[in-house]
């Protein structure tokens, strides 16, 4: 079965209509918006810092896309890793229902954000050399139903860097489907 993102995103999130500000909808016959004072946004017509920043971060995404040879819509720009972590919980995890896997010792915000979002955490400790215990992760009862597996590289606080070869498992070989209970199910090939 082919991977389908819609199957693992919370339905209420998938169905959200994107916020659209008046600025993004406004087109004064091709006028340069930087030359206008947009009073509906409470902008100050004087000074250099009179504009709200671009909420879509279009310029930086274009630059990063060129550097990485990918499409700008494949890039997420956030306010630090904590924002990205919280958003992933809110997008994929149903409060009071879902589970994630962490591999301690690791970044503490995975647990903090799980608690804030009412998501259960299954801990699969790292090996003594701080490598992932892949056998234990795959054996864990929650693996098939876990919505997220947090792998931190470089890991905090150990500092070790996870290389693709370190995984020793072809995660792409997994078939992800959505079960009747709404959980993502992994079946090994």
Domain boundaries along the sequence of the chain? 38-77, 87-187
Q: What is the pLDDT of residue 23?
A: 64
What is the spatial distance between Cα 110 and Cα 101, in angstroms, rounded to a whole number?
A: 9
pLDDT, average across residues 85-111:
96
| CATH architecture, range 87-187 | 3-Layer(aba) Sandwich (3.40)
Is residue 183 very low, low, confident or very high in pLDDT (cuts 50, 70, 90)? very low
Percent of the chain with pLDDT over 70: 71
pLDDT, average across residues 124-151:
88
With a cut of 70, say whether residue 92 has pLDDT above it: yes
Q: What is the pTM of this model?
A: 0.73
Burial, 160: exposed, middle or buried (Cβ in 10 Å; 0-12, 13-18, 19+)?
middle
Residue 61 vs residue 41, higher pLDDT: 61
């Amino acid at each position: 079965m082919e991977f389908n993102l819609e199957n693992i995103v919370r339905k209420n999130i998938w169905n959200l209509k994107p916020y659209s500000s008046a600025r993004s909808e406004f087109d004064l016959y091709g006028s340069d918006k930087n030359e206008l004072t947009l009073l509906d946004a409470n902008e100050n017509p004087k000074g250099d810092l009179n504009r709200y920043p671009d909420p879509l971060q279009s310029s930086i995404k274009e630059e990063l896309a060129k550097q990485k040879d990918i499409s700008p819509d494949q890039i997420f720009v956030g306010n630090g890793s904590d924002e990205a972590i919280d958003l992933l919980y809110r997008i994929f995890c149903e409060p009071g229902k879902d589970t994630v896997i962490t591999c301690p010792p690791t970044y503490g915000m995975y647990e903090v954000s799980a608690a804030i979002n009412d998501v259960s955490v299954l801990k699969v400790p790292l090996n003594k050399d701080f490598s992932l215990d892949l056998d234990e992760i795959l054996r864990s009862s929650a693996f098939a139903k876990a919505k997220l597996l947090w792998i931190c590289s470089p890991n905090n606080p150990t500092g070790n860097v996870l290389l693709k070869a370190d995984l020793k498992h072809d995660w792409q070989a997994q078939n992800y489907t959505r079960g009747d209970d709404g959980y993502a199910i992994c079946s090994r090939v």
